[in-house]
Structure formats: C-alpha cells, structure tokens
Amino acid sequence: MYKTKEQKQTFYKSSKWLNLRLKALKRDNYECQQCKRMGKVTKGQNVHHKLEIEFYPEHALDINNLETLCINCHNVEHGRLFGGNSQKKRWNDEKW
C-alpha cells in the first residue's frame, strides 16, 4: 500500500496522519522516547513508526505503533549517517 515514494508522500500529507502525529507528540510530551529510555530528556520532533508502513500498512494509523523521537535517534533508527557518531563508510581498496 505504501511502497512508492509518491504513496508515502501522500500518506504523510494526509489529515489523518497529521492529526494522529499531533496526538502522538502530545502523548509523549514532545520528548524523545529513546533518549528517555536512556535517562535523558530531549525534545522530540519526529513521530516514528515502530513497524514501518512499507511492510505493515495495517499499522500506519495505529497510535500504539508510534513513538516520538529526536532527529538524532530517528536517524539512528533508520540507519542514516550523520555527525560524529556515524559509522561512515571508509574507502576500501579491497573492493577493487
């Protein structure tokens, strides 16, 4: 259901998602839940699907599948490279 970039963009712009996102942020007091588990208080800006909508579209609008994360934790969750904590790919001559 949410396989293409266009389908995901349409979903994330929908009023159903935007309203649910706001409810999740309020429920989590706008705090990153991952940082909270580590004993830190950090502002959360992203609402993350624990079960990704690409693989579990039936949980896309399930508030129990959502958690507020800070940008850093959200990037870690999705394996994105960033800042000094990243595990940047290094040049590897062995590949050639």
| Digit-coded pLDDT (tens) for 17-63 | 999 999 999 999 999 999 999 999 999 999 999 999 999 999 999 99
Give the alpha-carbon dihedral of 18, 20, 22, 27, to 10 degrees. Answer: -170
Q: Give residue 2's pLDDT band: very low, low, confident or very high (50, 70, 90).
A: confident
pLDDT at residue 16, rounded to an integer: 97
| Dihedral angle sign, alpha carbons of residues 37, 42, 25, 77 | negative
Angstrom distance (rounded) from CA 2 to CA 54: 5
Note the pLDDT tens digit of each residue in 59-89: 999 999 999 999 999 999 988 865 544 444 4
Residues 6+ apart with CB under 8 A from 56: 49, 65
